[in-house]
Amino acid sequence: MAGTPYRGSTLRLALTSIGAAGVEWYDFFVYGTAAALVFPHLFFSPDLSPFVAQLAAFSTFAVGFIARPLGGVVFGHFGDLHGRKKTLVVALMTMGLSTLLVGLLPTYETVGALAPLMLILLRFLQGFAVGGQWGAAALIAIENAPEGRRGLFGSFVQIGVPSGVVLANIAFFLSGGLMSPQAFAAWGWRLPFLLSIVVVGLALYVHLRMEESREFEALAATGLENDQPELQRSPILRVIASSWQLILLAGGAFIASNTCFYVIITWVISYGTATLGLSREMMLGCIMVGSLFMIPALIIVAHISDRVGRYGLFQLGCIATGLWSFAFFPLLETGTIAGACTAITVGLCVVSMMYGPQAALFAELFATKVRYSGASLGYQIGVLLGGGFTPMIAATLFAVFRNSVAVAVFMAATCLISLICVTLLHARRARELAQENGVPTLAVGVGS
């Protein structure tokens, strides 16, 4: 089965995977952009200082990351039992509707303290949805991939991240650029959120046209999920009991790419505009340029990982990103478009060396019957530790030390953590494979 070509249209699989991930991440990132630009003034008391209001807005941003592991557990449970496609549809619908409702929320001026509470609830639903989306979309692509191309197929879903960033920033760039600042603050900021109605339409398309994962269908047909009846209804318990160390190491491996990515595309907006005095349009434009370059970088790195193995590229990405952290801020602080674009673009490209092969690497760690639960849980643990609190940590470090070097050290430290974790993960998997009689499903690239 592993060597059988994808039975549907490869182009349709690629475009649907990219589209599903792209619009889902658009919804997630449009919130982050708004948290940096407008939420401090709209959803919190005007009595708060600008710094405290910004921290409060970033704290609601973090709520989505806290919810993501829960989404990974719940969606992973049902995805391992009932299929990847069904859970992807539910995740898309949840994300689309919750983001749409953010665009309809009343502000603090209208309903007082109820405004941030409703914002937090909807952000929680966003995080819950995206916690399940990644595993479903990634496994549909990877488990339908021809042998030797799982890294490449896994990159279809990873591309959704920079695509979502581009779409979110375009939405804010246009809505802010085509109207006065007063109109944007009054109602224009709502437009990017209202556009998420498109996600609901895509969910219906996935439901009607996208095929289920080939490997999951084969598993269901043979009834292999009944080999442990006592754990049949709890794939998450099964994978935690058998592979908890792999899950924790996978989470640790993901900390660096997640932390550095959110410094580059979220915190840097408030830092550039509020501290360096750069225009919002310039910052959003540079982030869009960097994200556009990140798309082919992800594809290239993932394709190379199919040839030379995933772990070495991942380790190289940890080292390169850690080193670039110390060049990132001096370039940004030149205040020039060239400096800011170079800092952000190179930063996102070196992060791609970790993020590009990650989907296939995580999928290859777990058996088909618990793969959704295991891969999603490892991914979302890394998200919780390395993403949700990143803007708050970066803002606090800069406020305390009044120097961007402290933020660069923070980024480099996460790269060291991930380097250690992926090295330990590689060694552990190599030992496990050496002890097995046969090559497990999706083992290509594991020992490389």
Mean pLDDT, rounded, for 110-133? 89
Contact 307, 152 (CB under 8 A): no
Residue-number span of the structural domain to which 156 is assigned: 10-223+233-435
> In the chain, how many domains are there?
1
Residue 325, C-beta contacts closer than 8 angstroms, at least 6 positions apart: 260, 408, 409, 411, 412, 415
Chain segment 137-155, per-residue pLDDT in tens: 888 888 888 888 889 988 8
Q: What is the pLDDT of residue 349?
A: 96
Distance, in Å, from the CA atom of 333 to the CA atom of 173, rounded to the nearest integer, reads 22
In 3D space, the residue among 368, 355, 357 whose CA is nearest the CA of residue 76 turns out to be 368
Instruction: Read off φ and ψ for residue 149, nearest 5 degrees.
Output: -130, 25
Chain segment 178-205, per-residue pLDDT in tens: 788 788 878 888 888 888 887 777 777 7
Q: What is the pLDDT of residue 1?
A: 36
Q: What is the CATH number of the domain that holds 408?
A: 1.20.1250.20
Q: What is the pLDDT of residue 252?
A: 94
Domain membership flag for residue 446: no
Q: Could you tell me the pTM of the whole model? A: 0.81
Mean pLDDT, rounded, for 395-402? 91
pLDDT-based confidence at residue 431 (cuts at 50, 70, 90): confident
Q: What is the pLDDT of residue 445?
A: 46
Average pLDDT score over the chain: 83
Q: What is the pLDDT of residue 437?
A: 45
Domain membership flag for residue 447: no
Percent of the chain with pLDDT over 70: 88
Identify the weakest region by mean pLDDT among 216-225, 257-266, 375-384, 391-400.
Answer: 216-225
Domain membership flag for residue 273: yes
Domain membership flag for residue 366: yes
Domain membership flag for residue 126: yes
In 3D space, the residue among 117, 127, 21, 118 whose CA is nearest the CA of residue 70 turns out to be 127
Domain membership flag for residue 361: yes
Domain membership flag for residue 423: yes
Residue 117, C-beta contacts closer than 8 angstroms, at least 6 positions apart: none
Q: What is the pLDDT of residue 446?
A: 43
**DSSP code of 443?**
-
Distance, in Å, from the CA atom of 47 to the CA atom of 76, rounded to the nearest integer, reads 43
pLDDT at 44 over 60: yes
Q: Write b or e for each residue in 407-430: b if 16 or more Cβ atoms lie within 10 A of its Cβ, otherwise e.
A: bbebbbebbebbbebbbebbeebe
Tokens 């496994």, residue?
Answer: 139
Mean pLDDT, rounded, for 110-135? 88
Domain membership flag for residue 262: yes
Distance, in Å, from the CA atom of 332 to the CA atom of 347, rounded to the nearest integer, reads 11
pLDDT at 367 over 50: yes
Amino acid (1-letter code) at residue 327: A
Which of 94-98, 278-282, 286-290, 432-436 ranks highest by mean pLDDT?
286-290
Distance, in Å, from the CA atom of 235 to the CA atom of 208, rounded to the nearest integer, reads 27
Sign of CA dihedral 136, 139, 145, 148: positive
Mean pLDDT, rounded, for 393-411? 93
Chain segment 196-255, per-residue pLDDT in tens: 887 777 777 776 666 776 777 777 666 644 554 444 557 788 888 888 888 999 999 999
